[in-house]
Amino acid sequence: MSKRRVVITGMGILSPVGNDVATAWKNVVEGNSGIGAVTDFDTSAYNTRIAGEVRNFVAADAFFDGVPTPTDEAGIKALEDERRSIAKDFKRMDPFIHYGIVAGAHAFRQSGLVVTEENAGRIGVAAGAGIGGLHTIEATAIELNEKGPRKVSPFYVPSSIINMVAGNLSIYFGLKGPNIALVSACTTAAHNIGMAMRLIQYGDADAMLAGGSEHATTTTAMAGFCSAKAMSTRNDDPTHASRPWDIGRDGFLLSNGAGMLMLEEYEFAKARGANILAELVGFGMSGDAYHITSPSGDGAELAMRNALHDAHITPEDVQYVNAHGTSTPVGDLGEAKAIRNVFGDHATAKGKFAVSSTKSVTGHLLGAAGGVEAIFSVMAIRDGIMPPTMNLVDVDPEVAALGMDLVPNKAEKADLNIVVSNSFGFGGTNGTLVFRRV
């Protein structure tokens, strides 16, 4: 059976480096870090006191970014009514839901797709989060303890459960096709994008809004990762704390945001004259079957091999890999070795292949990471630019011995046709996406 082609027609992002695609991409290419002191709560008792926050963001306003102002009285009133309704809804939602809805709205509107009574059942949503509504869960637990069960909001559950990004986007835009939310830790967005691709390929949908979101800088999340000694403690030098493959790396940094893509079947998009940004040609998954938090590297290798096989391409066809690269001692080395194994001698071909980690400036957006990095992969193809791995001052000797170009500290121009994006998560869950120029 021949699978249908899947293309990207819209993208939306919220991140520590920008709340729109153009700004975020510019900062990533220029190596401008979005890491700073945590402002959501008092971190004085925490070993790690820095993270990547979404700044200058008012959800109810951002939802309407790009919406033209009507000129007629009836249109103006309708928009004002919608603004009030959205603002009321948003008061009952966890921040991660805000991020996912707004990024999804931006991606949907960029695509120019018009939902009708005829096509609504063929357009769906696949969006999740790695840890979901911890902010709301924490606040509700305190309220329950201090005031009793009668004071718990009736909106507590729908304001915190992970599938509410997909659910609300479906409601707001009238999307009656598949409505799903895959949850797989830091591979969440990649898996949602990949499974949305499958739904389109095999005819269950013609278009899917897909990705992930996260609000990770909460008291319990920060405390848990600190206790696990998983995060960097370079609190006095936040912009240089995330340093994938550098010998001085000491852990990742939590970040907030969302990355959403509008995926469409190629002929469906072409027929309506959509602006096609890139094609999604491959998706691979695997499981480490090794350890709940420590990666083996074997799973990463298998996910990449599966993705290349799915795309019907060879390792030599790939010019750039946007790595998972979180700045952890074990994870970075394991992924680097896996990439070298998959791409063989091609991985060391200067000017023909390179790897970099944009988490060096964004931090780790957990369940949203794969969505944000899918966007960066598409932008890399569009502009012919491989974004840098910042803070790579002294390459880990074991990584250096692999002989790969890690795009240290400065973006590199390249003629990019095919780009790979990796996402790996706790529990040994792995996902790889392959994008191609159209």
pLDDT of residue 1: 54
Cβ density class 381-390: b for 16+ within 10 Å, e for less: beeebbbbbb
Can you tell me which residue has the tokens 């004259």? Answer: 273
Residue 170 lies in a domain: yes
Residue 145 lies in a domain: yes
Q: What is the CA radius of gyration of the chain?
A: 21
Rounded distance between C-alpha atoms, residue 27 and residue 388, angstroms: 11
Residue 326 lies in a domain: yes
Domain range for 151 is: 7-436
What is the number of structural domains in the chain?
1
pTM metric for this prediction = 0.97
pLDDT of residue 369: 99
Residue 151 lies in a domain: yes
pLDDT of residue 360: 99
Rounded distance between C-alpha atoms, residue 40 and residue 256, angstroms: 11
Residue 1 lies in a domain: no
pLDDT of residue 142: 97
Residue 47 lies in a domain: yes
Rounded distance between C-alpha atoms, residue 431 and residue 422, angstroms: 6
pLDDT of residue 400: 98
Longest Cα separation, the chain: 67
Residue 2 lies in a domain: no
pLDDT by residue, tens only, the chain of 438 residues: 578 999 999 999 999 999 999 999 999 999 999 999 999 999 999 999 999 999 999 999 999 998 999 999 999 999 999 999 999 999 999 999 999 999 999 999 999 999 999 999 999 999 999 999 999 999 999 999 999 999 999 999 999 999 999 999 999 999 999 999 999 999 999 999 999 999 999 999 999 999 999 999 999 999 999 999 999 999 999 999 999 999 999 999 999 999 999 999 999 999 999 999 999 999 999 999 999 998 888 999 999 999 999 999 999 999 999 999 999 999 999 999 999 999 999 999 999 999 999 999 999 999 999 999 999 999 999 999 999 999 999 999 999 999 999 999 999 999 999 999 999 999 999 999 999 999
pLDDT of residue 256: 99
Residue 242 lies in a domain: yes
Kindly list the catalytic residues: 186, 324, 364
Rounded distance between C-alpha atoms, residue 326 and residue 243, angstroms: 8
SS3 state at 5: coil
pLDDT of residue 297: 86
Q: Which of 210, 336, 206 is nearest to 283 (CA)?
A: 210
CATH number at residue 389: 3.40.47.10
Which tokens sit at 189?
A: 């967005």
